[in-house]
Amino acid sequence: MRYAVLGTGTAGRTLAAALSSLGHEVVIGTRDPETTLARTEPDAMGNAPFAQWAVNHPLIRLQTFGDAAAHGERILNATAGAASLSALEAAGARQLNGKILLDVANPLDFTHGMPPTLDPVNTDSLGERIQRTFPGARVVKTLNTMNSAVMTEPARVPGEHHVFVSGDDADAKAAAVELLVAFGWPRDGVIDLGDISTARGPEMLLPMWLRLWGALGHTDFNFHIQGARARG
Amino acid sequence: MRYAVLGTGTAGRTLAAALSSLGHEVVIGTRDPETTLARTEPDAMGNAPFAQWAVNHPLIRLQTFGDAAAHGERILNATAGAASLSALEAAGARQLNGKILLDVANPLDFTHGMPPTLDPVNTDSLGERIQRTFPGARVVKTLNTMNSAVMTEPARVPGEHHVFVSGDDADAKAAAVELLVAFGWPRDGVIDLGDISTARGPEMLLPMWLRLWGALGHTDFNFHIQGARARG
């Protein structure tokens, strides 16, 4: 299948590489490919320059948000949450219409200092905002509650743990679950929270995730909902 | 030890009963004991009238917030989050000075409809607000991330799962951990998140908890942080 992964950061690279390994045709979308490829320094998060990563992933092309979205039968939003709406607008509503749009972003707000807060939060979520702004897209919020390495390699965290899906479109959620299973998630490790408004729950896990990172000193952990299985 | 449990709802009753079972002298605090005892109908959450509960717990007295706080060497805030500051003001700052104040409340805001949102949230938390308002109290945020039955009977949820502590006072947190262990929590089931500002993390789990309740259809679940143990 043809996938567009929007965003050239760690999450975008990790998801693109995993999709490519599964045999999908992947294009990564960025605002200005020339600028992205011209960078020679690590980014603010310490990621190696994209061009360096690209050398090791020759099957994955880099295009504009619009060209990537046009290519993709499915879209993954892995941009920084504060830039996601702008990136999706650059991709173009017409290129999103009718397509499954997996939103893995978190609306982290660094304007209040560290650790970041969220915006939107509490009475709204990024997932809902994307669905409202692009009503033709079939938005599924998922995978935003863990380090990106865990997204596509859940066995990095030994033992049972969970990934969540939220969305208004049942078929889109079912397709998202199939992709999660292809990434290595056990089917009963996926919890369907309900419609896209339930994205507020997993997005609001981020402040806890950040503090657990601080307390534990590593990122190879994930939320497990003990007692989630149907009781006998 | 002498405990004051502020709040006559499910959480307050459950914590008071558990403390009493452990041999502590427990007084429950309420705004107006006569009014609380005069109620003959279940409350908004469906709890049986307090007077009915009290018959089965003759060792536990009901007093005003102020008298209860004066009695307690330790204070548990189990009031509704929106009423917590007012309840603690009624208890009196002088009665809280130097005492460990365990805050298990969640600042649920029902003014936006169901499910409730949080206030404060994101850039503040109830735990921090209580600590700021009563700087002489030694506030520990804990136990707010689960159904009250699980607080004092963690084995209701089979398997490993976690409880969190946040607070500025290391000795107060150590005392809180001892109480959690007395309630049945394994020592390595307690995660110390850091100072009181980290209370934002566990308070912001509530929107997820509420949606998990909706998705799972029961409340005998809890958050487990898979991968939290030190890596070998």
From residue B2, alpha-carbon distances to A14, A36, B73, B150, B187 in Å are 54, 64, 5, 23, 23
Distance between first and last Cα of chain A? 40
Helix (H) or strand (E) holding B25: strand B25-30
Q: Which of B145, B211, B221, B231 to mutate to test the interface with A (most CBs of A within 10 A)?
A: B211
Contacts of B208 in chain A (CB under 8 A): 201-202, 204-205
Is residue B229 domain-resident?
Answer: no
**Count of domains forming chain A:** 1
Is residue B231 domain-resident?
Answer: no
Ranges in chain B, pLDDT < 50: 232
* Nearest beta carbon to residue A123 from set B117, B205, B211: B117
At A46, the pLDDT band (50, 70, 90 cuts) reads confident
Q: Is the pLDDT of residue A231 over 70?
A: no
What pLDDT score does B231 carry? 54
Going B162 to B201 to B78 to B115, the CA torsion angle's sign is negative
Give pLDDT tens digits for B160-200: 999 999 999 999 999 999 999 999 999 999 999 999 999 99
CA distance A136 to A2: 19
Is A221 an 8 Å CB contact of chain B?
A: yes
Q: What is the mean pLDDT of residues A161-173?
A: 98
Is residue A194 domain-resident?
Answer: yes
Question: What is the SS3 assignment for B21?
Answer: helix
> Does the beta-carbon distance from A221 to B210 stay under 8 Å?
no
> Does the beta-carbon distance from A222 to B225 stay under 8 Å?
yes
Is residue B224 domain-resident?
Answer: no
Is A120 an 8 Å CB contact of chain B?
A: no
What pLDDT score does B43 carry? 83
- Domain containing B27 equals 2-216
Is B40 an 8 Å CB contact of chain A?
A: no
Angle at Cα A213 formed by Cα A185 and Cα B183, nearest 5°? 90
CA distance A188 to A193: 13
Is A201 an 8 Å CB contact of chain B?
A: yes
The b/e string for A59-83 (b: 16+ C-beta within 10 A; e otherwise) is ebbbbbbbbbbbbbebbbbbbbbbe
Cβ-Cβ contacts under 8 Å for A223 (sequence gap 6 or more): A145, A146, A161, A162, A205, A209, B223, B224, B225, B226
CATH number at residue B32: 3.40.50.720
* Nearest beta carbon to residue A218 from set B122, B226, B231: B231
Nearest residue of B to residue A145, measured between CA atoms: B208
As for the ipTM of the complex, it is 0.96
Nearest residue of A to residue B196, measured between CA atoms: A211
From residue A142, alpha-carbon distances to A21, A38, A65, B9 in Å are 20, 31, 21, 35
Q: Is the pLDDT of residue A232 over 80?
A: no
Is residue B109 domain-resident?
Answer: yes
Is A223 an 8 Å CB contact of chain B?
A: yes
Contacts of A226 in chain B (CB under 8 A): 157-161, 221-224
Q: Which of A121, A196, A208, A231 to mutate to test the interface with B (most CBs of B within 10 A)?
A: A208
Is A218 an 8 Å CB contact of chain B?
A: yes
User: Do B194 and A215 contact (CB within 8 A), yes or no?
Assistant: yes
What pLDDT score does B232 carry? 44
From residue B161, alpha-carbon distances to A93, A212, B12 in Å are 43, 14, 22
Is residue A222 domain-resident?
Answer: no
CA A165 to chain CA centroid, nearest Å: 12
Distance from CA of B207 to the nearest CA of A (A): 5
Give pLDDT tens digits for A54-110: 999 999 999 999 999 999 999 999 999 999 999 999 999 999 999 999 999 999 999
Total CB pairs under 8 A between chain A and B: 136
What pLDDT score does B45 carry? 79
Is residue A227 domain-resident?
Answer: no
Is A163 an 8 Å CB contact of chain B?
A: no
Is residue B223 domain-resident?
Answer: no
Contacts of A202 in chain B (CB under 8 A): 208
Distance from CA of A155 to the nearest CA of B (A): 11
